[in-house]
Amino acid sequence: MDIIGYKYINENDAQVARKQCADFYGLPKTPEDETKYWVDYNKADLNTPIFWYIAFDESIEQILGEPTTFDVIIEF
């Protein structure tokens, strides 16, 4: 299925992007809070080669920039 978002070829880059978004929104607010991140990344483990991605949301466009569209294989 087509996903609009941000694609990363290694997990570390996805983690960096996740932290950028969390820092932008001041998360976590306190160490005791449940909420640690603003967005999280997913692993496209059925794709070859595998990759990591963050799905698009308007709230992160100003942080991560213009999204792209890519295919993610998901088994239902």
For residue 26, what are its two tokens? 């001041």
Q: Does residue 70 interact with other proteins by CB under 8 A?
A: no
What does the alpha-carbon distance between residue 75 and residue 67 come to, in Å, rounded to a whole number? 24
Single out the residue of 36, 43, 35, 31 nearest to residue 7, CA to CA. Answer: 43
Q: Does residue 44 interact with other proteins by CB under 8 A?
A: yes
What does the alpha-carbon distance between residue 33 and residue 72 come to, in Å, rounded to a whole number? 32
Q: How far is the CB of 14 from other proteins (least distance, A)?
A: 13
Q: Does residue 20 interact with other proteins by CB under 8 A?
A: no
Residues that bind other proteins (CB under 8 A): 1, 3, 5, 25-27, 29-30, 33-40, 42-46, 54-55, 57, 59, 73-76
